[in-house]
Chains A and B, each alone.
Chain A
């Protein structure tokens, strides 16, 4: 199977999962009230995040053909996403500033004058297109890493907190070992050892970021284990697996959501640093910012690349941080005390 078919399948799967989540939230009064409260607090930030999500989804649905590429035979057989198709005929030869009619250096006429709201980069690609392509990369990094790290920390955290004893000792030892290594160096070491692909970068990010969440899950499970309803379930002869699934896991759900949103922005930001160190994902905003460093020393200055990548990154992180704080306030009763 080709790469783009897998991407399509995953996208459809994730969309189905999202619809399922909405359905589940609507069924439970607790969760639907939390969702309404969240929407009331941060409508703009939520809209922003949804907009980014929509772009990422549009950029994850591929098919072959249907674009008139002129003489270019190779690209006619490549799979292209919806975003690729929207910007298919917007190539120039070199830099052009926003809304320009001529090239930035030399002043030759452009092929598509006035059609680049953010100009073009060194090989003439539209900067709006490049910035939009970065959305999928950023969301992929944050999302895939969380999909690896969260189940891992739930598995280890719950078993350590619930079963205690030897299991707890072992998990705690693994956590303190991982936590004592310098984070960014460990991250890079892992990526260098596993090779540079999107999946290995996400695995490395997951290995370095699951410890914090695992510690929270372990602590919370320790508390839940002593609750009366868990004790009662045990006395009634409910099996350990059933107790974990019925009584422990649902009570950790709010923590999962809070941690997911709050770590997401950190993951995307650390990918930017990785990109600059030469071990990032291709097409990310970090790479655009990295390339733009040399553009700032050109004369006259090429400023639109770094502005586009920087503000796309900033708006996403800001919106996610805002939503994250609101999610924590809505879902975690403990922060009520802090806010008062």
Chain B
């Protein structure tokens, strides 16, 4: 047992190291410090200004250990990321850690209700579709799902902002206010858009999960015993489908923290997604690579926790 946990932790650490190496290759080798400085200062910036910028932002060291073992960018990159000493933004010199700490709250305020509502709605809808399998309800449901999946999220957002916010004036078009009595007014529209845009693929996914269980022997036995359709669906099908559903939930949790890139910046919510978009538009490479690192760190931690708790619950997992 302990051996399995240690092995799993070590693999997680290796993946984090791999992510950091990939980020280094992308942000220091593909886009060299000279490129980054030139993006910030403009194509025609004089060489002295570029050198000065590189020095100010800590990009003036050699890249690889074989060029200078004591003072190179690779080791500095690993050290700063692994000690959470992310440094300052390339664009406005604000400490990146401060930016991230300020963005987590609004992101969670948007993503947690969106995720919970979405999960409940899609599980319920797919249960209904699974009850009516092989009838017109099922077929219509699937067609509707495919229609919903085929609309770009941009269209959902623009359409909702125009119809619900501008014409009907139910909610503000965009903006955010953290005080608890008005925050829901600002969050309602992005939550609705997030729900509608993802429900198609979710219902399809959970439908296949449920249909897999519907044809199992124990369901036939339950039906032979005279259990009602509702009881079969809730006690036998839903319960046995909990494992894929739980896996789906655990995988989604790290992404709740990093927020939604598209929704946050369209609706002016100052979360981590909007922070990333700001970094993209301001050529702020330091913030961008920190965001990617934080996202993957959360993902790896969530995966290790899931695997370890699976192995505690089900001894067969450890044997693999």
Contact = CB atoms under 8 A, between A and B. Distances in A.
Interface string A294-336: 0011000000001000100110011001100100000000000
Interface string A150-190: 00000000000000000000000110111011101110111
A269 interface: yes
Q: What's the dominant secondary structure at chain A's contact region?
A: helix
Contacts of A306: 155, 158
A278 interface: yes
A271 to B, nearest CB: 10
Contacts of A110: none
B149 interface: yes
A197 to B, nearest CB: 14
Contact of A185 (B18, B27, B261): B261
B149 A185 contact: no
Interface residues of A, number: 44
Interface string A192-231: 1110000000000000000000000000000000000000
A38 interface: no
B211 A338 contact: yes
A317 B150 contact: yes
B19 A180 contact: yes
B296 A180 contact: yes
Interface residues of B, number: 46
A179 B288 CA distance: 17
Given A182-B258, A273-B262, A338-B212, A314 B151 contact: yes
Interface centre among A177, A269, A325 (most CB of B within 10 A): A177
A290 interface: yes
A181 to B, nearest CB: 5
Contacts of B300: 180
B40 to A, nearest CB: 12
B139 to A, nearest CB: 11
Interface of A: 173-174, 176-178, 180-182, 184-186, 188-190, 192-194, 265, 269, 272-273, 276-279, 286, 289-290, 292-293, 296-297, 306, 310, 313-314, 317-318, 321-322, 325, 337-338, 340
